[in-house]
Amino acid sequence: MLVQRYVNRRSAALIAALAAWKAPASAQQPMDQADSAASAARPQNAQPASLPFALSGVLYLNYQYGGPGGSRSDNRFDLERAYLNVRAASGNRDSVRVTLDVYQQRDGTRDQYYRGWTMRVKYAYLQHDLLRGPSEGLRIWGRIGLIQTVMIEKEEQFWNRGLSQVAVEQAGYFNSADAGASVGVTLPNRAGEGYLTVTNGAGYASRETDRFKDFQARLTLTPWARGNGVLKGLQLSPWVSVGARASDFAAGRGTVRPVADGRTKNRYGVLVSYRDRRLSAGANLARKLDVAESADTTRDVVPATRDVTGGLVSLFAFVRPLASPSREHPWSVLARVDDVQPDRTSEGRQRRYIAGTTWDLSARTSVTFDVQSLSARNGLAGGSTRTFFLHIIANF
């Protein structure tokens, strides 16, 4: 009897609560009316709450048609990348940046894990302003964490990453980000900037794999930045990367004894870039020096080594034919050619062509139709591809 009275009381309370919740729900105003009523009730001088960080990002969308020569063409809609940037102050002289990289997992060996889009961290660093100054004064800052490497982000200020990676990244010279520390210097009177880094060397898409590090430096000079002549937008950026990697036989293999020494991994080059309202262009000349190893693991004790020197030249330009020195125009045409020689002891090389046209829908969104081809020449292994793209790039 006591149990029945308890159940009856709980049931009555539940029914009353449902009735009380249902009554205002059935009388709920349409969304726009509710928002208007809330706005009217809010004090006129009230300000919306601000977030403690700044959020921005970019979408790289495309439709592509084409593929290897001599085969039936592939076609697909693709989200190549989505970058989400979070920036926030972390003190009077400190700030943080975290950039999330949304990409499609295309490694067939990991299909059981996931075959769609996933996310990883590309940049995540703390910046400390060591020396502050006016906009045209001397400034020095330091960063630690997942940081930009020596020159890829600099080149992407002139080449649109949404269309393709820059040549040095495509050729595997190094990644655009890595774990490490850096120091940046902005020179006074808009004379240029310097950038020094020390990183793990494995790139942001990998954990640290050995004890060796990469030391990188870039000096950007803008000698005519304060003038009004045609050379005002010219930048000269020599750069260098000196590093090493673990031997392929670091743990030993067969009869080959473990090798504790690192193997050379050096890169250097110069980026010449230019920008005004009618033209954005660049030329990157780069060289690399690696050490290759080989051994017969059934009888050799020490692996044989040889130097492998490669090089590349990348030229690109965006031209706005209808723009003037005082007014931009939304239409532009673009072209790029890369010539990559993996080993200078052989004539084999890889050639890439990109050509297209772009229309800016707004200051933040553009549409580009382009064709990209890749071919192996002079005996280099590999076939040829040609792909047509419709790229949509949206910043927010």
Q: Give the model confidence (pLDDT) of 231-267 as tens digits.
A: 999 999 999 999 999 999 999 999 999 999 999 999 9
Q: Would the CA dihedral through 380, 381, 384, 389 be positive or negative? A: negative
Q: What is the pLDDT of residue 69?
A: 73
Q: Which residue has the higher pLDDT, 4 or 96?
A: 96
Banded pLDDT at 59 (limits 50, 70, 90): very high
Looking at residues 338-342, what average pLDDT do you find?
97
Q: What is the pLDDT of residue 320?
A: 97
Question: Percent of the chain beyond pLDDT 90?
Answer: 77
Could you give the domains of the chain?
A: 66-78+138-395 (2.40.160.10)
Q: Taking 80 as the threshold, does the pLDDT of residue 42 lie above it?
A: no
**Tokens standing for residue 371:** 């064709």
Banded pLDDT at 295 (limits 50, 70, 90): very high
Amino acid at 168: V
Which residues fall within 8 angstroms of residue 86, CB to CB, at 6 or more apart?
53, 54, 55, 97, 98, 99, 100
Looking at residues 294-319, what average pLDDT do you find?
97
Banded pLDDT at 48 (limits 50, 70, 90): low
Looking at residues 218-228, what average pLDDT do you find?
95
In the block, tokens 């045609």 appear at: 230
CA gap 2, 176 in Å, rounded:
73
Q: Give the model confidence (pLDDT) of 60-117 as tens digits.
A: 999 999 988 766 778 999 999 999 999 999 999 999 999 999 999 888 887 887 888 9
**Tokens standing for residue 38:** 């809330």
Choose the weakest-confidence range: 35-49, 52-66, 120-134, 140-154.
Answer: 35-49
For residues 350 and 310, the answer to whether their CB atoms sit within 8 Å is: no
User: In whole angstroms, how large is the CA radius of gyration of the chain?
Assistant: 28
Q: Give the model confidence (pLDDT) of 355-388 as tens digits.
A: 999 999 999 999 999 999 999 999 898 889 999 9
Q: Give the model confidence (pLDDT) of 157-179 as tens digits.
A: 999 999 999 999 999 999 999 99
Banded pLDDT at 51 (limits 50, 70, 90): confident
Banded pLDDT at 6 (limits 50, 70, 90): very low
Q: What is the pLDDT of residue 2?
A: 37
Q: What is the pLDDT of residue 268?
A: 98
Q: Give the model confidence (pLDDT) of 262-290 as tens digits.
A: 999 999 999 999 999 999 999 999 999 99
pTM over 0.75: yes
Banded pLDDT at 45 (limits 50, 70, 90): low
Report the Cα–Cα distance between both ends of the chain, in Å, rounded: 66
CA gap 72, 66 in Å, rounded:
8
What count of other Cβ atoms lies within 10 Å of the Cβ of residue 200? 19
Mean pLDDT across the chain: 88
Q: Which residues pair with 25 in a beta bridge?
A: none
